Structure 1
Amino acid sequence: MFEDRPDCDEVVLVGRSNVGKSTLMRELTGHSVSTGRKPGVTRQPNHFDWTSESFMFTDLPGFGFMSGVSEEQREQIKTDVVRYVEDNADDILVGVLVVDGKSVVDIIDRHSGDDEIPHDVELFHFLRDLEIPTVVAVNKMDKVDDRDDRLDDLCDRLGLYPPWKQWQDTIAPISAKRGNISALTDTLGDHFHDQKRDDLLKFL
């Protein structure tokens, strides 16, 4: 179980381990967050909050493969993440699903089967089913050569009709390590505005 959270609106970062959520969190907040080469560094939600505005960014633990973590523990972390999002859906202004732009389509294809829904696809639809505004931050795009094709393929796997450019309120290509996250912050700003939280624009 996760520890108690501050009572305020939030933006949550969710996704597989090692896709760069903590690096993105650092770029969004300007504050150092534990990152590491080994997947699974984040085991509890990392909150960065502004009490005066009753708002925070939250980096949720990654799911999927983690070095030295049993399958049972991995499943528990995923369950805890899902429960956290369900329990706090009314306070989540935006859910940001962070994926690795270079590998996400291959991972989705590898885990697609008659009785298997890939984690990334499942989480995307889970957020939307809860009516949480959802943005897919497609990270590490500096390592992708066939940018438009790759983003079109991702849209296709998520059930969004390509081309990806018609989904710029949902698909945000970024490179957190290089500090290039404007596609995401622009989209977050639009969502804040839609929810009458223009007071939060100064944090982007």
Structure 2
Amino acid sequence: MPFQNRPNRGDEVVLVGRSNVGKSTLMRELTGHSFDTGGKPGVTRQPNHYDWAGPDFMFTDLPGFGFMSGVEEGHREQIKTDVVRYVEENAEDILAGVLVVDGKSVIDIIDRHQAKGDIPHDVEMFHFLQEVGIDPIVAVNKMDKVDDKDERLNDLCDRLGLYPPWQQWQETICPITAKTGSIDTLEEALADRFHEAKRDELLQFVS
């Protein structure tokens, strides 16, 4: 069943990504509101929307896709289909699509899928956002666990089809650690999107 009950809000920022990369933790940091999180992948099965009484705007944490322990493949594929459909149907209202990845494991996961001849989910989602007219932001989470930060981010740019060095893509590639509240780079990128959309009144949510 497709996702139901989208709040009657115009513009939104969506968080997309694999299960267990920290989307719900990031959502908490962005909104100041707690959502169900857990070490077990697949905790979020329906979108978590968070809006405010005044502005015509909301943040949406979409369910994680990809492998989930204890979740059958058919259900995993349905979740991914529902995520894609939601983004397609609401693309005109999405100010930013934030692809959240695990900085520690994302390169290994991408390379493993490519070695099997598959299109990695993260790469596929990045290009999908572009195809539907959404300028993606990649929130590279858990960077506190990464020693070779610049090398890792350069490798990620390479896998996504962006020319390294990563520093020239700072409105697209945002190293963060949501668990410790270190999300300044993402907030700056979102602020740029809000300004471009002439929604400067939303800057209060990322400052």
TM-score (norm 1): 0.98
Q: Distance in 1 between matches of 2:117 and 2:33?
A: 41
Structure 1 residue ranges, 4+ long, deviating more than 2 angstroms after superposition: none
Matches for 1:38-117 after TM superposition, within 5 Å: 38-113=40-115, 115-117=117-119
One-letter code aligned to 1:13 = L
Which sections of structure 1, spanning at least 5 residues, go unmatched?
Answer: none
Matches for 1:120-159 after TM superposition, within 5 Å: 120-159=122-161
Q: Deviations over 1:98-155 (max 9, x none)?
A: 0000000110000014742100000000001111121000000000000000000000
Does residue 172 of the first structure (1) align with residue 177 of the second (2)?
A: no
Partners of 1:122 and 1:48 in 2: CA distance = 26
Which residue of the other structure, out of 162, 186, 194, is the alignment partner of 1:192?
Answer: 194
Q: Which residue of 2 aligns with 1:27?
A: 29
- Report % sequence identity: 74
CA distance in 2 between partners of 1:151 and 1:113 (Å) = 20
Q: Does 1:6 find its partner at 2:46?
A: no
CA distance in 2 between counterparts of 1:195 and 1:112 reads 36
Instruction: Report how many residues are paired.
Output: 204
Q: Aligned to 2:118, what secondary structure does the other structure show?
A: coil
Decide which moves more: 45-54 or 166-175: 45-54
Tell me by how many angstroms 1:51 deviates: 3.5
Post-superposition offset of 1:4: 2.1
Amino acid paired to 2:6: R
Unaligned runs of 5+ in 2: none
How far apart are the structure 2 equivalents of 1:113 and 1:79?
A: 24
Q: 1:64 Cα shift?
A: 0.9
Pairwise CA RMSD: 0.9
Supply the distance in 1 between the matched residues of 2:146 and 2:115 (Cα, whole angstroms).
26
